Amino acid sequence: MQRQAAALLLLLLTAKTAAAWDMSMTSLADKLGDAIEVKGIQQGSIQSKLPLVLNVWPFVNATMAGWAALNNASSSAPWLDAVERVGNHCEDFPAECGWSVGRGSNADESGDVTLDAMIMRGDSMDAGAVAYLKDVRNAISAARLVMEHTQHTILAGAAATRFAQQMGLPLQTLNTERSTHAWQQRVAANCTPNWRVDVEPADSCGPYTPLPPSSNATDEAPAGGIGGRRLLAASTKSHHGFMGSHDTVSMAAIGADGKMAAGSTTNGWFFKVPGRTGDSSVPGAAAYVDGEVGACGCTGQGDINLRFLMCYQAVEFMRQQMDPKLAAEAALRRVVRRYSGAGATFGLFAVNATGYHGGAAFGWERDNMTRWMAGNPQAPEQLRQAAFPWAYAYQDASTGGKVVWVEVEDLSRIPEPQQPRRR
């Protein structure tokens, strides 16, 4: 299984695309062997030796970029630099990060690629974020400028772009032939599926108007559904495609001195409604840190996460002395109890101030990895028949220069802890 897992990682998550590798599964694993160690599903939290950098996805080169920044002795805040560098690497090399962020990633309904990002430091609790940012490739750097050069937390839209330019970041269109082609294909398919709810027209591009009140679905939420409203088209990850609609990149870093930071960057859903802001720009949602407690990074269905602030909750559970892995699971269970149907996919890691960390995940086997592998003719037969868990990555002082990939069992397979009776 370790060789299969390593092969999957190389196929999906390294600098090369699956099409670029013409070799057997065994040689794929051997090729990756010098760069990564694979840990199977863990029953408890893992203890790391500080310093430590964590990535919510096992993107090898991005994690290594963060590790290099974390060990820069000339920096006054290497733990903050590390978080920024992980995000920058994905923004600069989007193909290495599943097109989660950066130029040429997912366009919105209007055909524009826009970015959301946030960065936060645990010593001062300062945070900066940008939302619906256009024409600035390094969104997390723009977020850091908001944190360091304003008294605000979030800047959005065209004003955020102007601010980033004034602060010295270069402007360039984020649209590319790749993003434009994908957008044109969706328009040619009558703009369906999309993210609209209870509107008309139902089978063509807008402009859209609300359905008459008598046509609207009940407000009562169905058990396990993505929400209580009828969808114009089933807006789930499986419809948009795993590789074409990847998720938020969230990260955290703890320095040798114990200081820590967290952050997140993404371009959000493919064909999202223009103006949509996801969880990446909201402290406590896709990422959060408190230097007295620990940090968290999250990925998945951002619109649902915004209703629960999973990373804030995971850190608060650790404040109550909960084990990091159990804290991540507890934060995720609050969501899954309400949203567990198609499209509900989540993954998060939690790390405490002493370097213990663990993860929790839900829905990836069902909605993403298995379906993508099953339909990928370049994947070895063994991989196309298997089900794979979600995984996060870390690198610390004891990993010998390797990135460690930690597989996380789906929460549906883990019995819920018994709650003590309350009087």
Please give the positions annotated as active site: 248
- Decide the pairing of beta strands 154-156 and 127-133: parallel
Place of tokens 């959005």: 156
* Residue 275 assigned ligand-binding role: no
Which structure tokens are listed for 203?
């089978």
Whose CA is closest to 265, among 22, 43, 62, 409? 62
Whose CA is closest to 313, among 360, 278, 277, 249? 360
Which helix (DSSP H) or strand (DSSP E) does residue 27 occupy?
helix 25-32
* Residue 300 assigned ligand-binding role: yes
- Can you say how many angstroms the Cα of residue 309 is from the centroid of all Cα atoms in its chain? 14
Which structure tokens are listed for 136?
């600035």
* Residue 358 assigned ligand-binding role: no
Amino acid at 252: A
What are the CA-CA distances from residue 155 to residues 69, 93, 211, 302, 304 (Å)? 26, 24, 33, 19, 22
Which structure tokens are listed for 369?
């990895």
Whose CA is closest to 178, among 235, 95, 241? 95
* Residue 301 assigned ligand-binding role: yes
Do 108 and 273 form a contact (C-beta atoms < 8 A)?
Answer: yes
* Residue 150 assigned ligand-binding role: no
* Residues annotated within a binding site for substrate: 276-279, 299-302
* Residues annotated within a binding site: 276-279, 299-302
